[in-house]
Each structure stands twice: as C-alpha cells, then as structure tokens.
Structure 1
Amino acid sequence: MGRIFTIVILLFTMNANSQNLNKKIEDISRGKTVMINKCTRDALISFPDMKPQYDIEYPTYKPDSVTISRLIPLITEKKVTIVLGTWCGDSKLQVPRFIKLMDVLKVNENDITFICVNGAKKAENGLIDNLNITNVPTFILYEKEEELGRIIESPKTSLENDLLLILEK
C-alpha cells in the first residue's frame, strides 16, 4: 500500500511540474499572451511572438569563425540559463542568435535552460528570484553550479566575443 501511495505522489508531482513547462499566460501589463517559466527550445521558437524573428535571425547570424575556434575548447561542460521575455524586442533579436551560436559550438541542448518571464520580469513559484534579473534577455553561464558571467540584454561587441571574454576569465 505504501509503495502505491509513493508512486501516486510521484506521478502527481511530475504532472504538476509538467504543467509549468511551455506555459502561456495572458500578461495584462503587455496586453498579450506570453510564455512563462521553463520552456523547451521547440516551444519557444514556434511561439507566435518569437517565430517570425527567429526565422530571420537564426539563419542569417554568422558567428565569427576565429572566435568560434577559441570558444570550442572552453565551452565544454558548461551550462547556460537564458532568461527572456517573449514580448521583448531584445529577446526576439538576441535569443535566436544565441541559439545559433550554441548550435555552432555544438552545445548539448540539455545544457541550455530557457526561462520565460512576464512583463514584470518575473516567473512563477520563485523560479528566478535568486537570479537578480533586471533586463532580458540575460544569458548566464555556469560551470559546476557556479556562475561564470552574464550577457545582459545585448552584447557589448558580439555574442561570441562577449562569451569568450567570460570564459577566458
């Protein structure tokens, strides 16, 4: 009996967590539907507010090959959290470019976490409360749970160069 109860609780917890993945809400402050909380890459790039810009930015963004060759040995075993707003112009521009950069670098999709926020730059259930997000998008790099650095809103020079500066510290 106890084993069945444990399985039921486990399934309930998994179902509750899955309801927050790829979640959409009406954001009153923006007057539109936005994604909130964690989402998958596929859900993000097919979301109506993201898809048109993604379809332009992803194929046309060409990261600098010299910088890429310097990044490849440095990016292994790193994780990335991307906090973005599907309503935000900078997110619509920079996130597709960053995804392209991660693809060129062959970063495993499981090492990238996408978290969407509402117009107040908040997610539900305290998901980003400890991240001190002031602007979106924010690209946070980690190594073994330790934050290495951030690219906030727009890169200073280019995404790949800013990433290199973080990883060469």
Structure 2
Amino acid sequence: MSLGAQTINKTAYNEPLGRHILIDLCTRDSVANFPDMRERYDAEYSAYLPDSLVLSGLQSRLNDTHITLVMGTWCGDSKSQVPRFFKILDLLGFDEKRLTIICVDGSKKASSGLLNNLDIKRVPTFIIYDDTKKELGRIVETPHVTLEKDLLNLVLEK
C-alpha cells in the first residue's frame, strides 16, 4: 500500500453518527487533539499505569515490529484504549514511523483500499506485524488481560 499519495488527517461529517469524524490515514497528534477524542484522551493517558515488568519484556521485542491501528474517533473503546496504547509506546520509546493509524467511519470503512485484506470487524484493532509484514496477531476492541500483556504474548508467539 502506497501511503505517500494519501491525504492525512481528513475530517468528514458522518451522517449515521451525526458528527464529524477523522477518516483514513491520521497522525497521532490529530487523533489526540480531535474534539471527540480530546474529551477523554488526557485522563486515560495519565491514569493508565502499565505493568513495568511486562514493559521490560516488551522493550526489545517491539523494535522490529510494525503496528497498524484501526480506530474510530467516535468509538468509546477507541477513546479509552488508544490513549493507553500510546502511553505504552511512549514508555517503550517505540519509533512511530513504524505505526500506521487508520480512522474509520461508523461502518468500519475507510477509502483508497486502506483496509483491504485487514478484515476489520471492531475497533480499535491493533495489528502487529514483523519486519517481513507477516501478521503476528491483533488486539481487537479490548485486551484479554492488559494491552501490554497482550502485546507481549503476541510478540513472544512469533
């Protein structure tokens, strides 16, 4: 998928949701500052306390991964899980050039083939890939245990 020609941080009015949303490729900054996200972002980010032992296990294991985050700025689970996920990435010093953020509408759709072959049913969906772009696994909607423990389990299984 060629991302160079894509317009990023597009907003659109989503009729079924009755509100403006971010759509397609977005930056972390645009997500964090979008009005629908902004109302909970800071509180979720600062309140989340990831397990430091799990983070130390993740530290070197995420270096050779790529992450695609599919989310909705209108979605309650995205509003809670995405700030927590960003906090984990910050604490690990994750290179955000290895992160792709795709925002979807209420039907879990984006344009320009951004979701081709991703099989997105719920958001947020965090998809972890190795350096060869092979999918290692995903966290869908909410973690089974915690975001950091689920991430560690995914990279340990590779």
Deviations 1:44-97 (CA, angstroms, capped at 9, x unpaired): 100000012111011111110111111112111111110000000000000000
Structure with a larger share of its residues in helix: 1
In structure 2, runs of 5+ residues without a counterpart are: none
Identity %: 47
Alignment partner of 2:137 out of 149, 153, 157:
149
1:10 corresponds to which residue?
none
Larger radius of gyration: 1
SS at match of 1:98: helix
**TM-score (ref. length: structure 2):** 0.94
1:40 corresponds to which residue?
27
2:94 corresponds to which residue?
107
Deviations 1:89-123 (CA, angstroms, capped at 9, x unpaired): 00000000000001111101111111000000000
Deviations 1:11-68 (CA, angstroms, capped at 9, x unpaired): xxx6xx35x2000001011010000000011111000000121110111111101111
Alignment partner of 2:69 out of 78, 82, 100:
82
Q: Where do residues 48-127 of structure 1 align in structure 2 (5 Å cutoff)? A: 48-127=35-114
1:24 aligns to 2:11 (yes or no): yes
Deviations 1:123-158 (CA, angstroms, capped at 9, x unpaired): 012210210000000000011211100000000110
1:131 corresponds to which residue?
118
1:166 aligns to 2:154 (yes or no): yes
What is the number of residues matched between the two proteins?
Answer: 153
